[in-house]
Amino acid sequence: MSVPDPTVGVVVLTQGTRPDDLARGIRSLLDQTGVSLDIVCVGNGWEPTGLPAGVAGLALPENLGIPAGRNRGVEKVSGEFLFFLDDDASLPDRGFLATAVAKLRADTSIGLIQPRVVDPSGTTPPKRWIPRIRKGEAEHSSNVFSVWEGAVILPRAVFDATGGWAEPFFYAHEGIELAWRVWDQGKRTWYAGDLVANHPVITPTRHSYYYRLNARNRVWLARRNLPALFVPIYVASWTGVQLLRSVRNRDGLGAWWGGWREGWRTDAGERRPLRWRTVWRMTLAGRPPVI
């Protein structure tokens, strides 16, 4: 008797501004072998049109933000595993998803996998795509405590237990919260240097909106997820990092402080502090949640 292919629910998020990239990413999904896919393309404030057979569309009437858009997509797909792909990312290997699923099944201590990210044109990828403080070689696999969200896979049961992506964030730092909450399930978040996703190298725009959400969400991240003792320590450490960075570049510092104050004064949403045993496991793995 043949063994059925593993089932993967796939959420592709887009605002419809990158039609060529979106088409490339969807083709790379439809080319996957050894898996059974349930794919939805979520239009965040846009109605997806012209989708190929095998890909459902979900139009959201307004841009709900990256985390909420992904969560709406999850509601529309089924599968033992969930895979999230941004509209400017793609999978160069037809066996990517089957290999990722095999890793998750072979080592059930892993609760989420982020692959190595490579620009298909050969441009040197930025170090920020390696979610480690000590970056090292991109091909080196390791435990991590945040993820680049453009291509990640995890068991559906683990995702559901985390509570999903942090909808109040809109964007910025939702990959840290998801990684932390995976750790809090007794699992590990894993950077797989031997798995590759493609994404073009694009210089990120650092506007006042970015600085405000970056600071606000950093405070919210602590308030939502850390034991009370660690909340001020974590925020203080990242405030110090920002001030050091601002010595050479003061752009956006005013907006950053505005977001910092907003993070303390506004509702951060559901609070689910990490268990103390999770804090200890993360510390033993090299990243206590105070830095």
Q: What was the pLDDT predicted at 103?
A: 98
Residue 289, domain member (yes or no): no
277's CB contacts (< 8 A; 6+ apart) are none
Residue pointed to by tokens 């320590």: 233
Asked whether residue 121 falls in the same domain as residue 182, the answer is yes
Structure token pair of residue 263:
């993070």
Kindly report the number of other CB atoms within 10 A of residue 178's CB atom.
Answer: 28
Q: Which of 257, 164, 266 is nearest to 223 (CA)?
A: 266
Query: What is the per-residue pLDDT for 144?
Result: 97
Say whether pLDDT at 246 is over 90.
Answer: no
pLDDT surpassing 90 at residue 158: yes
State the virtual CA torsion across 137, 142, 145, 150 in degrees, nearest 10.
Answer: 70
Q: What is the pLDDT of residue 242?
A: 87
Say if residue 60's pLDDT is above 90.
Answer: yes
- The pLDDT of residue 106 is 98
Q: What is the mean pLDDT of residues 31-44?
A: 98
pLDDT-derived band at 266 (thresholds 50, 70, 90) equals very high
Range of the domain at 255: 208-284
What pLDDT does residue 202 have? 80
Both 46 and 172 in a single domain? yes
Residues 168 and 221 in one domain: no
- % pLDDT > 70, the chain: 98
Between CA 186 and CA 190 the distance in angstroms is 13
pLDDT for res 119: 94
Task: Please give the mean pLDDT across all residues of the chain.
Answer: 94
Residue holding tokens 């590759």? 196
| pLDDT at position 210 over 90 | no
Does residue 25 contact residue 90 with C-beta atoms inside 8 Å? Answer: yes
pLDDT of residue 1: 59
The total of structural domains in the chain comes to 2
Q: Is residue 290 part of a domain?
A: no
Per-residue confidence (pLDDT) for residue 204, from 0 to 100: 67
Asked if 49 and 116 touch (Cβ cutoff 8 Å), the reply is: no
In this structure, is residue 170 part of a structural domain? yes
Radius of gyration of the chain, Cα coordinates, nearest whole angstrom: 19
Predicted confidence (pLDDT) per residue in 104-142, tens digit:
999 999 999 999 999 998 899 889 899 998 899 999 999
> Is residue 21 within 8 Å of 53, Cβ to Cβ?
no
At residue 166, the pLDDT reads 97
- DSSP annotation of 129: G
Where residue 290 falls among pLDDT bands split at 50, 70, 90?
confident
Based on the fold, state whether residues 86 and 132 are members of the same structural domain. Answer: yes
State the pairing for strand pair 36-44/110-118: unpaired
Residues 84 and 120 placed together within one structural domain of the fold: yes
Q: What is the mean pLDDT of residues 163-188?
A: 97
Give the span between the Cα atoms of 7 and 127, in whole angstroms.
Answer: 32
Tell me which of 172 and 250 has the higher pLDDT. Answer: 172
Last residue of a domain, one of 198, 218, 251: 198
Q: How far is CA 29 from the centre of its chain?
A: 18
* pLDDT band at residue 93 using 50, 70 and 90 as cut-offs: very high
Same domain (yes/no): 135, 238: no
**CA torsion, points 287, 173, 111, 161, in degrees to nearest 10?**
120
